[in-house]
Amino acid sequence: EAQVTQNPRYLITVTGKKLTVTCSQNMNHEYMSWYRQDPGLGLRQIYYSMNVEVTDKGDVPEGYKVSRKEKRNFPLILESPSPNQTSLYFCASSTGLAGGFSYNEQFFGPGTRLTVL
């Protein structure tokens, strides 16, 4: 089944304790992205990746890191989490450039609810 998976689905942690949220897709998609969703602010893009070893900042990258060492995986790293990073996080993927700036459907993971105390 074609899907985007995220782990963990729920996480409660404390300020300053490094954590990683994993994201994996089995559709051989080039493009992957991380979003956070907050009440009243909607979905905002954190980081995206056009392909392996190619990543760039979205609109709210502060406090986050990403890496893209393999096509299927795009982990989100919080080196020193703070309470303002409490949010619902989504990973998404799509076929990406396809020979030009041609964006196709984004497929979303089920979300990770993170609470930082």
Partner 1 sequence: KQEVTQIPAALSVPEGENLVLNCSFTDSAIYNLQWFRQDPGKGLTSLLLIQSSQREQTSGRLNASLDKSSGRSTLYIAASQPGDSATYLCAVPIYNFNKFYFGSGTKLNVKP
Query: Can you give the binding site for partner 1, defined by CB under 8 A?
Result: 31, 33, 35, 40-45, 48, 50, 56, 58-59, 90, 92, 101-111
> 18 vs 56, which CB is nearer to partner 1?
56
From the list 91, 102, 108, 86, the residue with the least C-alpha distance to 41 is 86
How far is the C-alpha of 63 from the C-alpha of 71, rounded, in Å? 23
How far is the C-alpha of 94 from the C-alpha of 103, rounded, in Å? 8
Q: How far is the CB of 94 from partner 1 (least distance, A)?
A: 9
Rounded to the nearest 5°, which phi and psi values hold at 78?
Answer: -110, 105
Which distant-in-sequence residues (6+ apart) come within 8 Å of 110 by Cβ?
Answer: 5, 6, 9
Q: How far is the CB of 66 from partner 1 (least distance, A)?
A: 14
Rounded to the nearest 5°, which phi and psi values hold at 110?
Answer: -80, -10
Q: How far is the CB of 7 from partner 1 (least distance, A)?
A: 14
> 12 vs 43, which CB is nearer to partner 1?
43
> 80 vs 103, which CB is nearer to partner 1?
103
Q: How far is the CB of 76 from partner 1 (least distance, A)?
A: 15
